[in-house]
Amino acid sequence: TEIYTLSLHDALPICHELLSDGERTVLRRLSVFAGGWTLDAAEQVCSGRRISRDAVLDLLTGLVDKSLVTASEQGPKVRYGLLETVRQYAAARLAGAGELDEQRERHLAFHIALAQVAEPQLLGVGRGDPVLDTLATEMPNIRVAVEWAATSDPAAGLRLVTALTVFWLFTGRYREGDTCYARALDAAGEEPTVLRGRAIAGRASLGHYGGAAEAAHGWAQVALDIGEACRDVWTQGRALNTLGLKASLGDPAGGRPLLQRSVELATQAGDDWCRIDASNCLAIGWIFQDEFDTARPLLADMQATATQHDYRWALAWPWLCLGWEAAFQGRLTDARKLLERSVAVSDEVGLPITNGLANGFLTYVHLAGGNTELAYSLASTTLKWVQETGA
């Protein structure tokens, strides 16, 4: 391997000289990608200044034919990449051409647009949905984009991480998301802007479900202060959701006014994720107090909203709560069916929280039904999984 790497390194200048001017330009511009790219990404990031978007495909194909770019089919799309030795050589050429900053900006802009287009679509995703797969595949590029934004355009970094909040929540990427939030927020300074408030509110939501409840409480309070100062109801709604959830864990009645206000503000802001999540937290608060009759209308409203908009993820909570009630009342067959529905929907999206809770109650149902072996197996598997995700 070492001999091959040295030979490739030595051969690159010769190969580079045999390329057309267009191929050289595209090759060096491709070095800004991490973990590969699609044709659409290459067309948007590598075009401009002597290279038209329509020309990128032919130039990219030429580089593949010359074995300087790799190409592999991933479903209906082709994903391209560079060997690390080639990428380093191309990156040096990019810096030498004085194009590094421009290409980083184009790369950052592309991935912000990708995340912002995906954000509203995430509420309707299911297993194998291309939106989830695309964002997961592009995480190496997103991490690079966050880092570049931190050194050149902190506001852009805040836009990027905020747009990914629901993706990180749905897929259980708590640690990865928090790392990106921390980098973007550290770079942005302390000025209380709308962008900063939204980013901190997003970090608080992620932190609470990712096991950092105390830190999340502090972030949510800061976000609420910024949201009120900037009159941004979106930020206020999300911050109050986290604060209300934290309060409800110790005192359901004490958290209720915060969550009710969160629902109101989220409705006003058109933030369906927050409205549904806060409504769910209200329902669970009543369930904590064994007030199932009071919780049931809230759950019915959530189910209606989820069905109307085809939000599969939003069905996981009502089925979990109804299964919880059935287990509490000793209706073990009903409880098992409802909880299995919650697990199935959670698996479709990847929701670690509802998956873990539903499987936890299923463990109880199996124990109550005398199936100790199955209960132990399910509990062990679930515990290992939630520990790995950080849920």
* pLDDT at residue 126 in the model: 66
- List the Cα angle 246/247/249 in 5-degree steps: 70
pLDDT in tens, 339-354: 999 999 888 877 888 9
Return contacts of 322-329, CB within 8 angstroms, 24+ apart.
Answer: 323/358, 323/361, 324/287, 324/361, 325/287, 325/292, 325/295, 327/361, 327/364, 327/365, 327/368, 328/290, 328/292
pLDDT in tens, 6-24: 455 667 888 888 889 999 9
CA quadruple 279, 285, 286, 292: dihedral, nearest 10? 80
Q: Would you state the pLDDT for residue 6? A: 46
Residue 30 contacts by C-beta under 8 Å, 6 or more apart in sequence?
37, 42, 46, 63, 69, 80, 82, 87, 90
Question: Has residue 125 got a pLDDT over 80?
Answer: no
368 vs 211, more confident: 368
Output the CA torsion sign for 306, 311, 316, 317.
negative
Q: What is the pLDDT of residue 217?
A: 96
Distance CA 177, CA 156 (A): 16
Report the length, in residues, of the chain.
391
Lowest-confidence region among 237-241, 251-255, 296-300, 386-390: 386-390
Cα separations in angstroms, 136 against 120, 128, 167, 268: 16, 11, 9, 31
DSSP-derived secondary structure letter, 365: H
Question: What is the pTM (predicted TM-score) of this model?
Answer: 0.90
Q: What is the pLDDT of residue 2?
A: 44
**What is the spatial distance between Cα 191 and Cα 337, in angstroms, rounded to a whole number?**
50
Backbone Cα Rg of the chain: 24
* pLDDT band at residue 312 under the 50/70/90 scheme: confident
Query: DSSP per residue over 41-80, as a string?
Result: HHHHHH-SSS--GGGHHHHHHHHHHTTSSEEEEETTEEEE
Of the pLDDT bands very low, low, confident and very high (cuts 50, 70, 90), residue 3 is: very low
The alpha carbon torsion through 145, 147, 148, 153 (nearest 10 deg) reads: 100
Under the banding of pLDDT at 50, 70 and 90, the label for residue 1 is very low
Burial 171-185 (b: 16+ CB within 10 A, else e): bbbbebbbebbebbb
pLDDT tens sequence across 47-56: 988 899 999 9
**Average pLDDT of the segment spanning 369-386:** 93
Mean of the pLDDT values across residues 231-235?
Answer: 98
Residue 370 has pLDDT above 60, yes or no: yes
Residue-wise pLDDT for 79-108, tens only, equals: 999 999 999 999 999 999 999 999 999 999
Answer for the pair 262, 285: CB distance below 8 angstroms, yes or no.
Answer: no
β-bridge partners, 78: 73
pLDDT value for 12: 82
The answer on pLDDT for 176 being more than 60 is yes
Give the whole-angstrom CA distance, residue 330 versus residue 327: 5
**How many other CB atoms are there within 10 angstroms of residue 257's CB atom?**
12
Instruction: State how far the alpha carbon of 358 is from the alpha carbons of 225, 246, 347, 349, in Å.
Output: 35, 20, 11, 15
From 56, 63, 62, select the one nearest 106 (Cα to Cα).
56
pLDDT, one tens digit per residue, over 325-337 is 999 999 999 999 9
Instruction: Give the percent of the chain with pLDDT over 70.
Output: 97
Q: Measuring CA to CA, which residue among 37, 54, 193 is closest to residue 103?
A: 37
Q: CA–CA separation, 111 vs 153, rounded Å?
A: 14
Q: How far is CA 330 from the centre of its chain?
A: 37
Closest CA to 184 of 218, 219, 160, 211: 160
Mean of all residue pLDDT scores within the chain: 92
pLDDT of residue 14: 83
3 state DSSP class of 126: coil
- Residue environment code for 45-75, b if the CB has 16+ CB neighbours within 10 A, otherwise e: bbbeeebeeebbeebbebbeeeebbeeeeee
Tell me the pLDDT tens digit for each residue of 236-251: 999 999 999 999 988 8
